[in-house]
Amino acid sequence: MNDSMTTNDSKQKSLRDVIVIGSGPAGYTAALYLARAELKPLVFAGESWGGQLMLTTTVDDYPGFESGIQGPDLMEKMRKQAARFGAEIVDRTASKVDFSTKPFRVWVGGPSTALNVTSSGRAQDDKTDSESLSVLSSEKGEIYRAKTVVIATGAESKLLGVPGEKEFMGRGVSTCAVCDAPFYKGKEQTYVVGGGDAAMEEALALAKYANRVGVIHRRDTLKSSKIMQRRVEEKKNVEFLWNSEVMEIKGSKEQNKATGVVVNNNKTGETRELPMDGIFIAIGHTPASTVFKAQIELDEKGYIVSRLGLSAKSVALARDHLNDMGILEYPTMTSVEGVFAAGDVVDFRYRQAVTAAGWGCMAAMDVEKFLTGTMSSW
């Protein structure tokens, strides 16, 4: 055994069957199912646990709550339910992982960085393997080991970074029209910011409810597909604000909601304050996958590639793992055997709480079958 491993043995934690990294609907659902399977999952929920739902107000589209539920309340219920069945939930962030050898290693504490993988397949940072392990275990956090890992770190909506945006998030500012558009039924004026397919989808969802929808885009042409653009242009209650950039979101502290948006025309220099009932930011998402870079396969946007194909890379991975009956084995497994992924860190298409929970369920069931070697029973 490596001398540095022996020296720092107090920092090495006992081998776990499974570690879950993440604490949104996918992470907590995976933890629930794994706990009920008596696999005693260790969940690294992060210092700011709960995912994007912690930033939302009323959630009306999660099944089982006929009057809706506050986002933070939903996450609290999921957390307590997983804990009730024995999930060990720790509010610390996984700062580094090593999937190059088994058992897998997960660091908590210390700066978040991605280990590089050498041509031999071993992970290292800027020191030799023995030096690296010594430093990591003594200065860069504790090391936890596991036979399997479920990654459910989610994705964050990209924001504009303008005054008022975070202040009125969930109170007139939103990043999901599919989720929140019904709240704007009959409202006079709403806006969508963005020019890609995601923004067009938001505009279409909002146009079903709001009287008027303005699409604010910083250029004079859209990045979206032609078919999506045509669908939006056909909506009589949608207009485009070309060459326009949001400078500030205004609001009323007394009413505790956003009431206007300051827009600058980057061609004419004209700045206007437009009254509004709500604004939806649709400029993209950033998957929380940086720490896994060079450890598992990611797509060009940073989403984790799993066998449950949403992209060409995923489909190719799936083709390589069909059994003799033509059935895909362990759909939520990534490019590394024993590492699974669930929720918005994989799913760039649906991005709903209920679909993330479904991913978490599937990942947990895949882990159980993988650990027990009972895949053939399916």
* Terminal CA-CA length for the chain: 39
| H-type alpha helices, 128-286 | 129-138, 177-180, 197-207, 226-233
Task: State the amino acid at position 366 in one-letter form.
Answer: D
Provide the sign of the torsion angle of the four alpha carbons 67, 70, 71, 73, taken in this order. Answer: negative
Tell me how long the chain is. 378
| Helix or strand run (H / E) with residue 361 | helix 353-372
For 179, list phi and psi in degrees, rounded to 5: -80, -45
| Look-up of token digits 């990942």 | 363
CB 281 within 8 Å of CB 160: yes
Of all residues in the chain, what percent are helix, strand and coil, respectively (each to 5)?
A: 30, 25, 45
Q: How far apart are CA 146 and CA 155, in angstroms?
A: 24
Q: Which residue is catalytic, options 98, 179, 277, 366?
A: 179
Residues of 219-238 as b/e, b for ≥16 C-beta within 10 angstroms? eeebebeeebbebbeeeeeb
Q: Which residue is catalytic, options 98, 180, 347, 366?
A: 180
> Does the annotation mark 361 as catalytic?
no
Taking residue 155's Cβ as centre, other Cβ atoms within 10 Å add up to 25
Residues of 317-335 as b/e, b for ≥16 C-beta within 10 angstroms? bbeeeeeeeeeebbbbbbb
| DSSP codes of every residue in 177-209 | HHHHGGGGTT-SEEEEE--SHHHHHHHHHHHTT
Q: What is the 3-state secondary structure (H, E, C) of 90-139?
A: ECCCEEEEECCCCCEEEEECCCCCCCEECCCCCEECCCCHHHHHHHHHHC
- Please give the structure tokens belonging to residue 54: 């912690």
Q: Which residue is catalytic, options 3, 73, 125, 176?
A: 176
Cis peptide upstream of residue 103 (ω within 30 degrees of 0): yes
| Residues catalogued as catalytic | 176, 179-180
